[in-house]
C-alpha cells in the first residue's frame, strides 16, 4: 500500500470498507525453443512501450448505504378512510365552551353559532376559544354574523369571507 493510500485511509476514518480485487493472471506456457538473439536497445524499448503492462489490483470502495428507515410515502387509502369530522355547536351558556374546547383537543373542527346567546357571553366564549385554539396551534375565523370556525392544527383554512353581511346589520 502506498503512502498516499495510507494517508487517504487515515482521513476517511474507516468510513469505507476497502476490498482488493485481484485479477487472475494466466500463466504462459513455458517455451522450450531456442531463445532469440538479443535485440538492439531501441527495438526493446518500442516493444516495452507497446506491450500491455501487468494489470494492477483494482480497489473498490463500498459506501455504507444504510440510511435510516425514512418513509416518504403517504398512504392515500388510510388518509381517506379516517375522515375528518366537523362539529356544530350552538352554546347557550358560557359553560358549554369547555365542551367545544374538548372537541378541538380531539382534532375536530367546530363551527360555533353564537346567535342565541347574549353578546357579552358570546365575547367571553370567543375569548376562551381563541386561547384554546392558540394553545393547540390552530386557527379561528369569522364565517358569518356571530358564527365562527375553530380548527385545530391538522386542518388548514383557505380563503376569507368578506364583512359585507356584518356591515349591513350594524
4 in a structural domain: no
CATH no. for residue 155?
3.30.110.150
Q: Could you tell me the residue range of the domain that residue 142 belongs to?
A: 86-169
Total domain count for the chain?
1
Residue 53, pLDDT above cutoff 90: no
Higher pLDDT, 32 or 19: 32
Cα–Cα distance between 166 and 135 in angstroms, integer? 28
Tell me the per-residue pLDDT of 3-14, one tens digit each, with 9 for 90 and over. 777 767 766 655
DSSP code, position 23: P
61 in a structural domain: no
Higher pLDDT, 52 or 123: 123
30 in a structural domain: no
Q: What is the pTM of this model?
A: 0.49
50 in a structural domain: no
Contact 129, 112 (CB under 8 A): yes
The neighbouring-strand residues paired with 58 are 21
Residue 129, pLDDT above cutoff 60: yes
Tell me the per-residue pLDDT of 64-89, one tens digit each, with 9 for 90 and over. 555 556 667 766 665 544 567 899 99
Amino acid at each position: 500500500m502506498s503512502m498516499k493510500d495510507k494517508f487517504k485511509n487515515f482521513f476517511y476514518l474507516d468510513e469505507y470498507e476497502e476490498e482488493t480485487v485481484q485479477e487472475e493472471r494466466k500463466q504462459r506456457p513455458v517455451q522450450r525453443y531456442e531463445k532469440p538473439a538479443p535485440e538492439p536497445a531501441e527495438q526493446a524499448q518500442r516493444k516495452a512501450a507497446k506491450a500491455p503492462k501487468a494489470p494492477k489490483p483494482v480497489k473498490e470502495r463500498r459506501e455504507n448505504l444504510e440510511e435510516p428507515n425514512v418513509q416518504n410515502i403517504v398512504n392515500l387509502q388510510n388518509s381517506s378512510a379516517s375522515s375528518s369530522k366537523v362539529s356544530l355547536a350552538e352554546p347557550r351558556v358560557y359553560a358549554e365552551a369547555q365542551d367545544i374546547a374538548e372537541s378541538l383537543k380531539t382534532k375536530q373542527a367546530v363551527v360555533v353559532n353564537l346567535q342565541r346567546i347574549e353578546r357579552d357571553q358570546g365575547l367571553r366564549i370567543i375569548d376562551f376559544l381563541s386561547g384554546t385554539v392558540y394553545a393547540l396551534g390552530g386557527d379561528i375565523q369569522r364565517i358569518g354574523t356571530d358564527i365562527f370556525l375553530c380548527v385545530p392544527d391538522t386542518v388548514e383554512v383557505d380563503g376569507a369571507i368578506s364583512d359585507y353581511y356584518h356591515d349591513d346589520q350594524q
